[in-house]
Structure 1
């Protein structure tokens, strides 16, 4: 065998070793994915199926599939809120029209409304104030690059934006921040006592959910700082407060996180429970329909009822 042949044989052997090593690595990654594990950027494992520390898993709720919206009528359901006539508003997020879609509990499209004076930069959630106005959270920030976020105040009778609440996060200095610090996206909020309570969707690595309070004051931009934070295993995609103001629900990937509260500012200090959701897909919308029961929607347009036993 010539020196050239020996070199070729050594090269081929080395390539085979690399291929085997890569296959073994991929198999381990696939095994982790199948078991519900993902690898975080800081080397720690996170498991969305594992209950969050400090929460009690409860089985006092039942999940029912209620209906499905027609994909031709509703391309996406990102947020939910009740209408005055017992139906529901929903909407798409960024890239969709500035419109609200009224749907029945059966998933039927009843009305499509263009909101005058509004633009859908990245609508993520809906809420209703005690004053009767509907509010749209235009604060989607997937890339953490927006330095001005908005909440739109909607007059339902005239289908108009009658006031824009502008805000920015006081603790964000870089647009975008480093990947591990990308915690300036939001998909869930609610209204209580003339203020909005926003919960971040953490796209970084430390799993902290931050709580911000924004006043219902259209006009000049508000600079808001987090008033509390809590580590939760999954990303938060919706939030609501019960009609009696005693419970807050956060929607995560495969879970609803339920808090018994004295006030929204103290939400993370209240009793913490979580409810396992089965086969809801990419759930994006959640509202209380009573002081205990909830309605959930996913991006594919399916509606689910989460009902206390």
Structure 2
């Protein structure tokens, strides 16, 4: 019996020594679902399904408090839907506006939101508009009405139908509309528009050969990157001199595998994007 007790004491001592020397490995903190939510660089991470009210997310922005704002496409109610970081509906803003074909959202540095009623599938619309609204006073809406300076026919010939836009972002007092080339699916034109109410001509400032139909646009908080999205792909521009010449910067295309028909995006910060798809999913993407 005494021998067995001695052996037990020795074994306990050995276990104690092993535990002491291996304590950092044995007791290190393991990542959990709560602590390992950030996607790796270049990884598309599905965060949630969008609520039933968002039948077809077409535009998206990240609000200053970290919540998201989105809306539905043509023919739906003129409502803006505020979602939390998990995609749950937090608030609905019902606007007294027509939703002819809402396509994207943008925001400026003063809390104003820009709703691009710019969908123009047949390239025949003459009443295009961007609505400027502040969520603190959603009943006060200003209209920025515009036509494209280079459009002469309504509609033009099918091969020349490049006057649809589903993508907009704001920078330094101007709005930038990116065309969706329905004629040849090759050229994204960039139009500049004042962010002030009135009737304007959208000025062509440049273009880029993308061979894709662009459905959303955003600029990073530091102004150093512009991201465009098309179906299952990102188009990233960096190293440009100013926002109005972003298309002259370094261009990189990244595939968004298994994302479906991606429609809208915005920057959460300078390194992360949030993306929605027509299939009703909310994604995050780390650059």
With the shorter chain as reference, the TM-score category is 0.7 to 0.9
> How far does residue 173 in structure 1 lie from its aligned partner after superposition?
0.9
Q: TM-score, normalised by structure 1?
A: 0.77
Conserved 8 A contact 1:152-1:161: no
Q: 2:42 aligns with which of 35, 40, 61?
A: 61
Q: Which position in structure 2 is the counterpart of 1:25? A: none
1:148-200 alpha-carbon deviations (Å, 9 max, x no partner): 31110112012224211111001111111111111000000101011001100
Conserved 8 A contact 2:161-2:182: yes
Matched, 1:200 2:179: yes
CA distance in 2: counterparts of 1:85 and 1:271, whole angstroms: 31
Conserved 8 A contact 1:101-1:112: yes
Matched, 1:251 2:232: no
Conserved 8 A contact 2:118-2:128: yes
CA distance in 2: counterparts of 1:161 and 1:190, whole angstroms: 21
Conserved 8 A contact 2:62-2:267: no
| Consecutive unaligned residues in structure 2, runs of 5 or more | 1-39
1:16-55 equivalence runs, <5 A: none
1:236-247 equivalence runs, <5 A: 236-247=214-225
CA distance in 1: counterparts of 2:174 and 2:230, whole angstroms: 23
Matched, 1:306 2:272: no
Conserved 8 A contact 1:258-1:272: yes
1:27-70 alpha-carbon deviations (Å, 9 max, x no partner): xxxxxxxxxxxxxxxxxxxxxxxxxxxxxxxx951111111113
1:45-194 equivalence runs, <5 A: 60-71=41-52, 73-116=53-96, 118-194=97-173
Conserved 8 A contact 2:185-2:212: no
CA distance in 2: counterparts of 1:130 and 1:171, whole angstroms: 30
4+ aligned runs moved over 6 Å, structure 1: none
Q: TM-score, normalised by structure 2?
A: 0.83
CA 1:179–1:170: 2 relative to 1, 3 Å: same
SS of the residue corresponding to residue 180 of structure 1 reads: helix
> How far does residue 224 in structure 1 lie from its aligned partner after superposition?
2.4
> How far does residue 206 in structure 1 lie from its aligned partner after superposition?
5.8
Q: 1:214 aligns with which of 186, 193, 196?
A: 193
CA distance in 2: counterparts of 1:234 and 1:293, whole angstroms: 22
CA 1:183–1:124: 2 relative to 1, 3 Å: same
Kindly name which structure, 1 or 2, has the bigger radius of gyration based on alpha carbons: 2
| Consecutive unaligned residues in structure 1, runs of 5 or more | 1-58
CA distance in 1: counterparts of 2:244 and 2:256, whole angstroms: 27
CA 1:195–1:301: 2 relative to 1, 3 Å: same
SS of the residue corresponding to residue 120 of structure 2 reads: coil
SS of the residue corresponding to residue 297 of structure 1 reads: strand
